[in-house]
Structure 1
Amino acid sequence: MTELYNSSHLVCDVYGDLHPFTYFYYLVFLVGFCGSCFALWAFTRSDSNQKCTSIYLINLLIADFLLTLALPFKIVVDLGIATWNLKIFHCQVTAVFIYINMYISIIFLGFVSMDRCLQTINSSKLFQIQKKGFAKMLSAVVWALVLCIMLPNMLIPIKNIEERDFVKCIDFKQELGRHWHVLSNFISIAIFLNCSCIILISNFLAIRRLYKYKDCDEFHNIKQALVNILLVTAGYIICFLPYHIVRIPYTLSQSNIIMDCHLKQRLFRAKESTLLVSVSNLCFDPILYFYFSKTFRSKITKTFSMKKEVAVHETAV
């Protein structure tokens, strides 16, 4: 009976053709890499008097660079042209980078939303947690927490398996690695749910506070702030919610709690599709930097205005 299950399990190829996904990953990588480099350039040339929001956005930028390191490996593996050792390296290292980026992004988006909400409320009782020192300490704690959750997926020894065309990353894991993989998935889902509550509540409070000034003369500025908050909320939901809806049943299929091969294939396709949507946050983060970091926005505006003045001067001459 066991041999029959093992043979049926081995012939269940969930991968199929992943080529269509790679074209979108190419686009995400190119746009995200250019945007991240531009953001890095702007942040490194901005003034050192940074607020909490800028500190959180810089941590988000660091996570984005981790993702840009991982995407080329995923593209090569999904194209089916990777060597066996490269497949192992991707499963053990670069695939984990993708999830580090995802949850670092989720957490710091929560902090950005909370900080903007506190700025809107403008309560002196909450001033202490908006200091730069607190933001830096909180950022260090977040990185330590996420790395403690994710790094064991890299460090727990894997087993040697026979080289074959279709292999899942979970196939390399020993029993301890499989258990930690499942545990880290559910911890990650808990992080997502908590951060989602923070983002939705913070943005709701900020919108309600700003909407009270709808009759004032400066409402056109307030309206822009409302639009920014709604865009961030919508982007967060679109990027991260679908993946986490799929992740629980997909994790169960990896653990062989879900046994049906056809269902496993559909869950894998759904996971890959929603993961691609999650990774696309790499393209939208530079827009987030522009709207939520005054230092970043002023540097970009100043740079392009200087270039425009130079161009006009050269034309006049």
Structure 2
Amino acid sequence: MTDNINSSHLTCNVNKDLEPLTYFYWIIFLVGFFGSCFALWAFNRKDSSQKCTNVYLINLLVADLLLTLALPFKIVVDLGLASWNLKIFHCQVTACMIYINMYISIIFLGFVSMDRCLQTIQSSKLYQIQKRGFATMLSVVVWALVLCIMLPNMIIPIKDIPEQEGVGCIDFKQKIGRDWHLLSNFISLAIFLNCTCIILISNCITINRLYKNKDGEEFNNIKASLVKIFLITAGYIVCFLPYHIVRIPYTLSQNDVITDCSLKEVLFLAKESTLLLSISNLCFDPIVYFYFSKSFRTRVTKTFSMKKEVKPVDSENTETAV
């Protein structure tokens, strides 16, 4: 089996030319790290008026913090600077953490959009599912579901492969690991498709309700809300749609359903490029916090308004001294 892996990678080594992408990963990591830390600080206060949207956003933030822990490992591995054991650790653990973040983010963005839609409808029949307790219970179920899908990719035993160039994460997996990897990819795709439908339908209903009131007294507020919804929807599509278009043919190439080496190289680079877009949601999420959480927006506004108020005081003191 090892000889087959060796000969396969000698003839078709797709795990290369990743260094240019690592510079973008560093930028995303730095922006996302500071954005997530600020969001953690902003959310870190007791607020009895928190609605279920805040519960979903806090779960989104936890997923982002996991991604900030995993991203440096991917950067080091892609640069070719990682030791063999560190590469194995990345393939078994931190690479899976990246995908946990992706699907947790997708699911909770779907919940945020749905909750915003329910707020617009304002139906008393739907009031129970907008309570914080229900949102907390639903969050626990979501984490359990995603971890059940992803954790086997971490804990299923791997092959003992001698150190060599061109070995990808898939090559460490035994047959049962490859089979679960394939199954988890299709389950993840189903999650993406369902959440995308929820987001698009919810946002369309919300836009329709808001647009009907465009001639009212609160036109400016409605216009601002419409812009926010369009931005959130566009950001979601840009981040996650390209990756899931590429994911199926790339998975087939991993399992040698697609055997042409040049096509495998194209699919690998396409997967890595679109994965970069998906990971860029780390920079996109703080915008979601700002638009959808009143407590977060209030904390941010107060922080920066306080900084602006300090400057005139300092200048007045200077003039008095002169």
Partner residue, 1:64: 64
Q: Who is 1:166 aligned against? A: 166
TM norm structure 2? 0.95
**Partner residue in 2 for 1:20:** 20
Q: Shift of the alpha carbon at 1:165?
A: 1.7
Aligned residue type for 1:121: I
Q: Secondary structure at the match of 1:17?
A: coil
Say if 2:9 and 2:167, in contact at 8 Å, map to a contact too. no
Contact 2:9/2:166 (<8 A) preserved? no
- More displaced, 95-104 or 39-48? 39-48
In the alignment, is the contact (CA less than 8 A) between 1:116 and 1:206 conserved in 2?
yes
Partners in 2 of 1:122 and 1:266 — Cα distance?
49
Q: Which residue of 2 aligns with 1:244?
A: 244
> Match for residue 180 of structure 1?
180
**1:61, 1:88 → 2: CA distance?**
27
1:51–1:10 CA distance, 2 compared to 1 (3 A): same
CA distance in 1, matches of 2:242, 2:55: 28
Q: Report the AA paired with residue 118 of structure 2.
A: L
- The equivalent of 1:111 in structure 2 is 111
> How far did 1:177 drift?
0.3
Q: Which residue type is aligned with residue 280 of structure 1?
A: S
Give the match for residue 151 of structure 2. Answer: 151
The yes-or-no answer on 1:258 pairing with 2:258 is yes
Indicate if the aligned counterparts of 1:156 and 1:177 stay in contact, CA closer than 8 A: yes
**TM-score between the two structures when normalised by the length of structure 1:** 0.97
Mapped to 1, the partners of 2:27 and 2:289 lie a distance apart of: 20
What letter is aligned with 2:275? L
Q: Please state how far the C-alpha of 1:8 moved relative to its aligned partner.
A: 4.3
Q: Which one-letter code corresponds to 1:145 in the other structure?
A: L
User: What is the aligned length?
Assistant: 315
8 Å contact 1:46–1:299 — kept in the other structure?
A: no
Q: Given that residues 55 and 136 in structure 1 are in contact (C-alpha distance below 8 angstroms), is that contact kept between their aligned partners in structure 2?
A: yes
Matched, 1:41 2:44: no
Matched, 1:288 2:296: no
Identity of aligned residues (%): 75
- The answer on whether the counterparts of 1:46 and 1:296 sit within 8 Å (CA) in structure 2 is no
Residue 4 of structure 1, CA deviation: 8.2
Q: Could you tell me how far 1:50 is from its partner in structure 2?
A: 1.0
SS in structure 2 at match of 1:267: helix
CA distance in 2, matches of 1:46, 1:232: 27
C-alpha RMSD over aligned residues:
1.3
Is there any run of 5+ residues in structure 2 with no aligned partner, and where?
318-322
Contact 2:91 2:169 in 1 (8 A): yes
- Structure 1 residue runs of 5 or longer lacking an equivalent are none
Counterpart residue type for residue 169 of structure 2:
C
The alpha-carbon distance between structure 1 residues 224 and 162, as it changes in their structure 2 partners (threshold 3 A), is: same
- 1:48 is displaced (CA, Å) by 3.7
